[in-house]
Chain A
Amino acid sequence: MAETLAKAEMPVAAAPLGGTVGDYLALMKPRVMSLVVFTALVGMIAAPGGLHPVLSAIALICITVGAGASGALNMWWDADIDARMGRTAARPIPRGQVTGDEALTLGVILSIFSVLTLGLLVNWVAGGLLALTIAFYLFVYTMWLKRTTPHNIVIGGAAGAFPPMIGWASVTGSVSLESVVLFLIIFMWTPPHFWALALYRCRDYERVGVPMLPVVAGKDETRRQILIYSALLAPLAVVPAFIGLGGRVYLVASVVLGAAFIALAVDVWRVRDGREADATAKRLFAFSILYLFLIFAVLLAELVWRALVG
C-alpha cells in the first residue's frame, strides 16, 4: 500500500526568461475549461426563464475563468508531483517556465475577479457556487483528499460537477432538482473516467505516492468499482428525459451511450492481463470523454431545437 504523501517542497527552477503567454494559459488547463464552459452552457440553456445575452456571456466567461483559476491553483500546489509524472511533467511549472508563486498569484487574482464579477453582475447564488467550487477543488480535493485517500476523485469530482449548476443558478438565481441531476451525472461519471486513466498510469501515481484506487486497492478492485459506477451512471444519465429536460432523442441517445459505456467497462473488468488490459482502459478513458460531451451535446441540441420550434 502506498504511503500517503505530504506535500514536498518543489525545487522550483528560476524562470530567467519568464513564461510565454501560452505558458500562463496552459496553467489554466484549457481542455478542462472547454468542458466546463460547455456543461455550464447546457445548464444555462436548460434553466427556465431568461437572462440577457450579454449577462449570459458574462456568466459563462466568469465560470470558465473560475475553472482556469482552479487549474492554476492546482498546478501551484501539485508542482512537486507533476514534475515526477509522465503525464504532467511538461506543465509550465515543472518545466521551469513559470514559478509556483506566479501560478499562485494568477490563480488567486482570477478566482477573486471571476467570483466578484459573477456575483455583482449576474447574481450571488451563482457567485457563491463558483466560490464554493474553486474552494472545494483547491482545499478539499487538491490539498486534502488527493494525497490522503483513494476516494479522492469520488468526492473531489464534485468540483467538476458544479458548472452546469452554476449555469442554472446564473439564470434562475436558485438551485433545483434538474440542476442537481446534471450535477449528479458528472459526479458519477468522474470516478470511472479517472480510474480508467489510473489503471494504465498506475506506476506514475505509485511513484509519487498518490493513493489512487489501483495503487491502494489493486487493479482488480478498481475494475470492479469502474463497473459499479458505470452501472449507476448509465441509468442516471437517462433521468433528464423523465424530468422535462431531455426529449425522445435524448432518451435514445442516453440509453445507447450508456450501454456502450457499460460494455466498455465490462471489457475493462474482463480483460486483466497484458497490453490488451491497458488498451481496454485507454478505450474506456477516451470514450468517457466522448460520452460526457455527447450526453450534454444532445441535451443542448434538443433544448435549442425546442426553444426554436416550440
Chain B
Amino acid sequence: MDAEEERKRRQRDRSIAIAVVLGLMAILFYVATMVRLGGNVFNRPL
C-alpha cells in the first residue's frame, strides 16, 4: 500500500470516528433531555 492510500485510509477512519462520536453525543443529549425533563417535555403551548 503506498503512502497516499494509507493517508486516505487514516483520514477516512478518523472521519468515521468523529462521525460516530458526534452521533453518540446527539443521542446522549437527547436521552439526557428526556430523563431530566421527563413528561414535562410535552408540557408546552401548542
Contact = CB atoms under 8 A, between A and B. Distances in A.
B36 A17 contact: no
Contact of B13 (A16, A20, A54, A58): A20
Interface string B1-29: 00100110011011001000000000011
Contacts, number: 32
A18 B28 contact: no
A55 B32 contact: yes
A18 B7 contact: yes
A61 B28 CA distance: 10
B4 to A, nearest CB: 9
Nearest to B4: A17
Given A17-B3, A52-B35, A121-B36, A58 B28 contact: yes
A207 B28 CA distance: 46
Binding site secondary structure of chain B: helix
Given A21-B14, A21-B17, A16 B32 contact: no
B6 A17 contact: yes
B35 A16 contact: no
A19 B14 CA distance: 8
Interface residues of A, number: 13
A179 to B, nearest CB: 24
Nearest to A17: B7
Contacts of B6: 17
A19 B28 CA distance: 27
A121 B7 CA distance: 38
Contacts of A24: 14, 17
Contacts of A17: 3, 6-7, 10
A71 B11 CA distance: 23
A54 B28 CA distance: 9
A108 to B, nearest CB: 16
Interface of B: 3, 6-7, 10-11, 13-14, 17, 28-29, 31-32, 35-36
16 contacts: A16-B7, A17-B3, A18-B7, A18-B10, A18-B11, A19-B14, A20-B13, A21-B13, A24-B14, A54-B31, A54-B32, A54-B35, A55-B35, A55-B36, A58-B28, A121-B32
The 9 closest A-B pairs by CB, nearest first: A21-B17, A54-B35, A121-B32, A17-B7, A18-B10, A21-B13, A52-B35, A17-B6, A20-B10
